[in-house]
Amino acid sequence: DSIALNTKAKVLSFDQQDGRLLVHYSEGLVTLLREARQLCALGCKIPKEVEKEVNLAHQFYNNAMKLKQVANFYNKIADEILPCQSGMLLEDANAFEKVVKKDHKRTADGKQISWDTPVQLKAYTEELYMAMSRLTRRNKVLRKVHDQVSDIVVRLMDTDLVRQREKWKDGIMDIRKLIGDVESGKYFGRESEGATNTRAWRVHWDYQLFKALEYQYRLGLESCHETLPQIKAKLVFKNKKLLFEPSYEELRADYYKGLKKFISFPSSFTGVGESDIFKTISDRNADGLIVVFSQAEKLFKKLQDTLDKYSPWVALGTIDIDDCVELNLKEVDDWDANFRVLKTRRRDVDKLPSEEKVDCITVDTQLVKSAAEDLLKQFSDALVASLRKSAQTEIDELEEFVKESLEALSSMPQTVE
């Protein structure tokens, strides 16, 4: 009978070819039990020989199922445990394998444990099952924490390294805490014994962090002139000069300070395993650094262009307006043309933006707009005063002419001529 249970045979053995752990409890016996139950439920009579085998198979069924579960786990353990976590489970795996392989499959009188030694078989099965359960529980915990770390790294892959550097630091702190909790045994419940040999696991995550960091670093090199922390500046008109506050030189120094902080970030980044691999990121992206400095010079060229754009609006502040008006306005058409220009300029100054965005530098133009409005008012006042003065001069000249003419007409002629 090919499916009959040999109660004298070994309970477990190893396949000589592939080393798999085998349980000597045929799948045919499982089928036999199922079909026997179905036949009994239908009221069919089972032959005594078959009934005997059914009863024998049923007697050891629970132990056999546990042993099959243990054997299945043993044969697939390499697939269940992540390579980077194998060192952390080495002690538990060795303890499990020791129970499987040790010479414990014998009774007190030296006989081999078999199906017909039920007390010893049950004790041995429970010992195996407990060792497997411990290893399984600890592996599930480590896999769960591994997935949590994975979620953090994936999130960092989409976290801007220029603008959200603090989130990177927070992410690394979260990963370190998770690993520290694993080492302390926090996640193992009553099994307070923490995991050791986490070095390979830390190195694994350092290499994943390396990929995420380099990806964001490359993106940052392409766009850091726009994404560096915002620098605030004002455009002001002082001492007849249009200036930046802080000064152009100070803005340049602040920008390069932030740029240097970003560029050097990988050099000070240590990941979760105090690794040096991150220091190579800057060298690996040397071409990108050339682009960064080229973009920086373009940025400050645009900043200078912004200053030049507003210079005409305060040009009146660099001269003596009254003298200029008096010197250049002679005819009525001169005043008419300048009043027309003044009206247009007043309308245009209202359209000027309150700030200018030059990549990562925001320039407040409110003060220069106010200065331009004040200068236009001064110019208007100068035009009115000049026009009034010119008109008064002409009136005075006219009155003098009339006076002289009347005097000439009122005098008595002394001669015929």
CB atoms within 10 A of CB 353: 10
Tens-place pLDDT, residues 330-387: 888 888 898 899 899 999 999 999 999 999 999 999 999 999 999 999 989 888 888 8
Mapping DSSP onto H, E and C, the string for 64-120 reads: HHHHHHHHHHHHHHHHHCCHHHCHHHHHHHHHHHHHHHCCCCECCCCCECECCCHHH
| Residue 190 reports pLDDT greater than 60 | no
Higher pLDDT, 62 or 217: 217
pLDDT over 70, % of the chain: 84
SS3 184: helix
Q: For 39-92, write each residue's pLDDT tens digit.
A: 677 667 766 666 666 666 666 677 778 888 888 888 888 888 899 988 888 888
Six token digits for residue 401:
């002419």
Pairing of strands 12-14, 361-364: unpaired
Task: Copy the structure tokens of residue 13.
Answer: 């053995």
Main-chain phi, psi angles of 236, to 5 degrees: -125, 155
**Quick one: CA torsion of 300, 302, 304, 308, rounded to 10 degrees?**
180
How far is residue 202's CA from residue 196's CA, in Å, rounded to a whole number?
Answer: 12
Most confident of 90-99, 206-215, 270-279: 206-215
Distance CA 77, CA 75 (A): 6
pLDDT at position 1, please? 46
N-term to C-term CA, the chain: 171
Question: Is there a contact between 109 and 117 (Cβ–Cβ < 8 Å)?
Answer: no
Q: Name the residue with tokens 């602040």.
A: 254
181: pLDDT strictly greater than 60: yes
Token pair recorded at residue 380:
């208007």
pLDDT at 150 over 90: yes
Give tens-digit pLDDT for 301-332.
Answer: 999 999 999 999 999 888 888 888 888 888 88
Structure-token match 């050099």, residue found: 267
What is the pTM assigned to this prediction?
0.73
